[in-house]
Chains A and B, each alone.
Chain A
Amino acid sequence: MNEVVIDTRSTALALPFLTPGLASAEVARVVDLLGRAAALPEIAPLSGLIGAVAPVQADYLDDARIESAWTTLASKLSAPTAPPTSPRRRGELQTLSPAALFLKSLTSDYTGNIPSTPVSLTPKLEPLPDDVLDRARFVLKPEDHFNIDWFIEFHPSLFTPLKIQ
């Protein structure tokens, strides 16, 4: 039976999961993030800072040094990872993650690459009602007056291009 131990190191490892964009309940993603975080040299000094600050300041997350170390750690974990070496078969179903999506209004504006397509979509995160994990649904909504035929095309760097039409 596993045991969960709450100490300064586990706290340092957990802090990225309080960061928007990294927070997740998906086991595979969490295992990947935990593995990468544990291998980073930033964990040890962050753990040490928590151990030094927490006994003298109850809200240690308000400490500028911890906040800076936390931000650095989260930034490193948010950095894109290397693409897979073996190409995936076209048409194979993949799981999309927000980090793999490039959409207008979210990251770069790709409208210049889409000929004659004045697409304007509004991204929203709609919280699932009464969800204990505080999950949200990612929604794209076109403008109200937008009545021409349109499509959404995902250009994920890590996956086979997928078109939803």
Chain B
Amino acid sequence: MPPAALSGILQVNAGGKAWEFPAVFRLSRRIPGRFSPPAGISLAGYSATILGGFADIDPVRGTFEAEISKDGAQLVWVFGAENQPA
């Protein structure tokens, strides 16, 4: 893993051989998020897609903590249920 790398392919060198793992490692950071839907939509029951997972959204304030990649653009998507984009 190169020094100061923010993302890349993990490679293990041992016994004169190199093995690469298919999964990309990616350093992340956390930023505050806020869901502000149109009038008439309740804040309850929504989650946000973040790096490698989901974050619960505060049902009263609409706030959440978003984990995002340090070296790449990323969509943060809020959803309430399947086929219910926000």
A binding-site residues for B, Cβ under 8 Å:
1-8, 11, 14, 17-18, 24-27, 29-31, 50-52, 54-56, 58-61, 128-133
Contact = CB atoms under 8 A, between A and B. Distances in A.
Which 7 A-B pairs have CB atoms at the shortest separation, nearest pair first?
A55-B40, A30-B73, A51-B38, A7-B36, A58-B84, A25-B72, A129-B22
B30 to A, nearest CB: 9
Q: Number of contact residues on B: which range applies?
A: 35 or more
Contact of A54 (B33, B37, B69, B77): B37
Contacts of A60: 85
A5 B36 contact: yes
Interface of B: 22-24, 26, 31-41, 48, 51-52, 66, 68-69, 71-78, 80-81, 83-86
Contacts of A61: 85
Contact of B80 (A30, A50, A58): A58
Given A55-B40, A55-B41, A27 B85 contact: no
Contact of A24 (B48, B66, B73, B86): B73
B72 A2 contact: no
